[in-house]
């Protein structure tokens, strides 16, 4: 089972662009959880797409820029052809996720940063929401919907483990893949070469230095030894492709 198969199954019942957006945003949230990086746009856009899908299931049309909170808040209190699982339960969970995504403040110094457990909550909610959408839309094909839900419910394995002063990439791969996943975890912060050497110390120092030089030459990273390095847009894109490929394989 692959995301493409999931999109193909859904687009038989809802517009293709909504099917693709829904699955792509879900995979992005999953990637963020695997690397413990809060990609701030994906959870909100996932819920926006859910609202568009609910609008389409209700009326056959959907808004390009839906008023998400207003729609979800009012849905259960008006007449609708949606069943109660979607109209009440899914709407309430979606609204809670949208609130968590949009209304939380950045933690202050000396306060426990809620980002990681917020991200876990957003992902598990997205898992449930997507599974429920699949169950509802494909209710006439129990075999297909069952296989798709099994794929959606696959547990996320962390790619990076944080030991405080050191972060270890757990995924096996090339030195370039390890570097890109590592910098994705730190993104958008600059990372000193000394820290990269420390985090990747299972490899020879010369290998790490050569990998940094090569990645810089390929425009995957930007920076210098004194100030540190970070992913370029090209490097960010490539790192997400590496992560997504592993998550859906």
Residue 106: its pLDDT value, please?
43
Residue 249: its pLDDT value, please?
57
- CATH number, domain 160-248: 1.10.10.10
CB 229 within 8 A of CB 196: yes
- Token readout for 181 is 């996943």
CB 200 within 8 A of CB 178: yes
* 3-class DSSP string for 41-108: CHHHHHHHHHHHHHHHHHHCCCCCCCCHHHHHHHHCCCCCCCCHHHHHHHHHHHHHHHHHHHHCCCCC
Residue 56: its pLDDT value, please?
97
What does pLDDT average to in each consecutive run of 10 residues of the chain (249 residues)? 85 94 90 73 89 96 94 91 94 92 55 69 94 91 88 82 87 94 88 96 96 97 95 91 74
DSSP string, 9-52: HHTTTS-HHHHHHHHHHHHHHHHHHHHT---TTHHHHHHHHHHH
132, HSE (Cβ side, Cα atoms, 13 Å): 21
Which candidate, 37, 239, 40, places its Cα nearest to that of 156? 37
pTM of the predicted structure, to 2 decimals: 0.72
Check residue 158 and report its DSSP letter.
P
Residue 104: its pLDDT value, please?
65
Q: Is residue 138 classed as helix, strand or coil in its secondary structure?
A: coil
- Token readout for 92 is 């309430």
d(CA 158, CA 37): 11
């Amino acid at each position: 089972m692959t995301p493409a198969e999931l999109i193909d199954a859904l687009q038989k019942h809802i517009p293709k662009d909504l099917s693709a957006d829904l699955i792509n945003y879900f995979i992005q949230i999953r990637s963020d959880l695997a690397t413990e990086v809060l990609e701030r746009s994906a959870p909100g856009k996932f819920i926006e797409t859910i609202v568009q899908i609910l609008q389409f299931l209700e009326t056959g049309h959907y808004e390009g820029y839906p008023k998400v909170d207003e729609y979800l808040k009012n849905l259960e209190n008006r007449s609708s052809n949606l069943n109660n699982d979607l109209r009440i339960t899914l709407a309430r969970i979606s609204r809670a996720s949208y609130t968590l995504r949009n209304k939380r403040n950045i933690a202050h110094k000396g306060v426990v940063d809620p980002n990681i457990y917020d991200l876990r909550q957003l992902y598990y909610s997205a898992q449930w929401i997507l599974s429920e959408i699949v169950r509802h839309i494909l209710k006439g094909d129990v075999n297909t919907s069952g296989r798709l839900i099994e794929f959606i419910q696959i547990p996320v394995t962390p790619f990076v483990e944080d030991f405080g002063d050191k972060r270890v990439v757990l995924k096996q791969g090339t030195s370039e893949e390890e570097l890109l996943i590592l910098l994705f975890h730190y993104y958008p912060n600059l990372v000193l070469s000394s820290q990269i050497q420390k985090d990747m110390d299972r490899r020879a120092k010369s290998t790490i230095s050569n990998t940094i030089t090569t990645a810089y030459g390929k425009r995957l990273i930007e920076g210098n030894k004194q100030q540190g390095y970070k992913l370029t847009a090209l490097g960010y894109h490539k790192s997400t492709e590496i992560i997504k490929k592993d998550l859906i394989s």
